[in-house]
Amino acid sequence: MSEKTWVSHDREFMSPKTNDEWFDSHIMKRINALEYQPTGMYFLNIGLCWRRHPYKDDYEGKVKFSLFPKMVITPQKWVPNFSHCVRFLEALQAKIESFGHGVGRVDIRLYISGASGPRHAIEYAFEDEFPRKGLPFFKTPLSWRLLPMVFNSQTREYEEEPTINGFEKL
**Residue type at position 126:** F
- Could you give phi then psi for residue 13, rounded to 5 degrees? -120, 140
Q: 106 - beta bridge partners?
A: 42, 144
Residue 12 has pLDDT above 70, yes or no: no
Handedness of CA 45, 46, 48, 54 (dihedral sign): positive
Q: Is 109 exposed, middle or buried (0-12, 13-18, 19+ CB in 10 A)?
A: buried
pLDDT of residue 170: 81
Mean pLDDT value of segment 9-27 = 80
The DSSP-derived string for 56-123 is: EETTTEE---EEE-SSBSS-SSHHHHHHHHHHHHHHHHHHHHTTTSTT-EEEEEEE--S-HHHHHHHH
1 pLDDT higher than 50: no
13 confidence band (pLDDT: 50, 70, 90): low
What does the pLDDT read at residue 143? 95
Q: Tell me the per-residue pLDDT of 23-75, one tens digit each, with 9 for 90 and over.
A: 999 999 999 999 999 999 999 999 998 877 777 777 777 888 999 988 777 87
Q: Could you read off the pLDDT of 69-121 as tens digits, one per residue?
A: 887 778 789 999 999 999 999 999 999 999 998 999 999 999 998 888 999 99
| pLDDT attached to residue 115 | 86
Q: With 50 as the cut, is the pLDDT of residue 134 above it?
A: yes
3-state secondary structure of 52: coil
| Residue 135 CB contacts under 8 Å (≥ 6 apart), including other chains | 79, 82, 83, 86
Query: In the prediction, which pLDDT does 145 show?
Result: 94
Name the residue with higher pLDDT: 137 or 101: 137
